Copies of this chain bind each other. A is one copy, B any other.
Amino acid sequence: MLSLLKILWIIGITAEGMTGALAAGRRKMDLFGVAVLASVTAIGGGSIRDVLLGHYPLTWVAEPQYLVLVVVASFVTVSMPFLLENFRVVFLVLDAVGLSVFAVIGTQVALGLGHGFVIAVVSAVVTGVFGGVIRDLLSNQIPLVFQEELYASVAVLATCVYFLLRALGASDSVTVIVSILVAVTVRLLAIWRGWSLPIFDYQERS
C-alpha cells in the first residue's frame, strides 16, 4: 500500500523530471539528453543525499520502476510541450509540492540515521534542491536556486516546522502534512509576492 508521502513523492519526481526535460529542450538536446536531465533533476538530489550519508541502497536502485516513470514522463513532455505552457500555474504548484515533499523526506532520512538538526537541514536542502542544481550545471547555466525567490530556504523551513511539531508531540502524519503545507504555501507566496533573500553583490574594483 502506498502511503500519502510516497504518492506525493511520485508526484514530485514526475514534476521535477518534466522541468528537467524542458531544460534539455531549451538546449536542443536529443532524446537521451532529455531522459538524463529528467532523471538527474528528479532523483539527483536524493542520490547525493544518500551517497553523502552512506544511506544504501539508493531509492531508485531498489525500486527502478520510479526511474522508468520519470523517463516516460520526460518523453510525454517532449511530445506535448505546448500543454506545459498552458499549465504553467499547475506546474509551479507541482514544483512547490515536489520541493516540500523532498525536504520532508530528506529530514526523515537524516533522523532515521540518528542525525540531529543541522544534518537534517542539510539533508532537506540537498534532497530538495540539488537535483535542480545538477540540471542547471548540465545545461550550462548558473544554478537558478541560488538566485530565485525563496527556494532552498523553503526546504530549511520545512525542516524547522517538522522539528517544532515533533517537539510539540504531534503525530507522524500531522507532522508530515503540516510541514509540507506550510512549505508549499510559503513557496507559492514567495513567487506571488516576489519574496527573496538578500543578494550579495561583490564586484572587485579593478
Chain A residues proximal to chain B, CB less than 8 Å: 21-22, 24-34, 36-37, 47, 51-54, 56-58, 61, 64-65, 67-68, 78, 81, 85, 115-116, 118-119, 122, 125, 133, 137-143, 145-148, 151-153, 196-205
Asked if A61 and B57 sit within 8 Å, CB to CB, the answer is no
B199 touching A30 by the CB < 8 A rule?
yes
Q: Are B67 and A32 within 8 A (Cβ)?
A: no
Q: Whole-angstrom distance between the alpha carbons of A143 and B140 in the complex?
A: 9
A30-B197, A61-B119, A147-B33 known; A22-B67 Cβ under 8 A = no
- Cβ distance A76 to chain B, nearest Cβ, rounded Å: 12
In the complex with contacts A24-B200, A30-B197, A197-B30, A47-B58 CB distance below 8 A: no
Query: Shortest CB–CB separation between residue A101 and chain B, in angstroms?
Result: 19
**Cβ-closest chain B residue relative to A24:** B200
In the assembled complex, how far is the CB of residue A165 from the closest CB belonging to chain B, in whole angstroms?
22
The answer to whether A199 and B67 touch (CB under 8 A), given A24-B146, A138-B133, is: no
Q: Which residues of B contact A53 (CB under 8 A)?
A: 57, 61
Whether B146 and A32, one on each chain, are in contact in the complex, defined by CB atoms closer than 8 angstroms, is: yes
4 closest Cβ contacts across the A-B interface? A25-B202, A33-B146, A64-B118, A30-B197
A24 to B203, alpha carbons, bound, how many Å?
A: 10
Q: A54 touching B56 by the CB < 8 A rule?
A: yes
